[in-house]
Amino acid sequence: MSNTTGNTLLALLTGAIIGAGIGILFAPDKGSRTRGKIKDGFDDAKHELTNRLDHASEELRDKFSSAKLDLEETYEDLVSNMSHKTEDVISFLEEKLAELKSQNARLQK
């Protein structure tokens, strides 16, 4: 989770706590009504927090999915490129081996 999202969540929870405290101190209603309002406020904050976490989780999943696809594509390109290079190296070594065999045959005569 990014630092901004963490700060937003912290601010949201802090605001809910401060709001609940002020609501209790200045409540013109009966205690049961005040507690109901506080509960509703916490439920709203919980719902908002859940929605934000779900949204952040979905964004992270999407980013990781696209990064995984990019990584797989890069890996496949690398393997393909290395395969071509390997074939070039093998051909070069076979040519050098043939030259060395030829030179060895001339020297042994």
pLDDT in tens, 25-84: 776 767 777 678 778 888 888 888 888 888 888 888 888 888 888 888 888 888 888 877
- The domain segmentation of the chain, as residue ranges, is 3-108
At residue 66, the pLDDT reads: 85
Examine the pLDDT at 1 and tell me if it is beyond 60. no
Global pTM reads 0.43
Query: Sorting pLDDT into bands at 50, 70 and 90, what band is 18?
Result: confident
Element (H, E) at 3: helix 3-25
At residue 2, the pLDDT reads: 61
Both tokens assigned to 66: 């696209």
Report CA 5 to chain centroid distance, whole Å.
Answer: 14
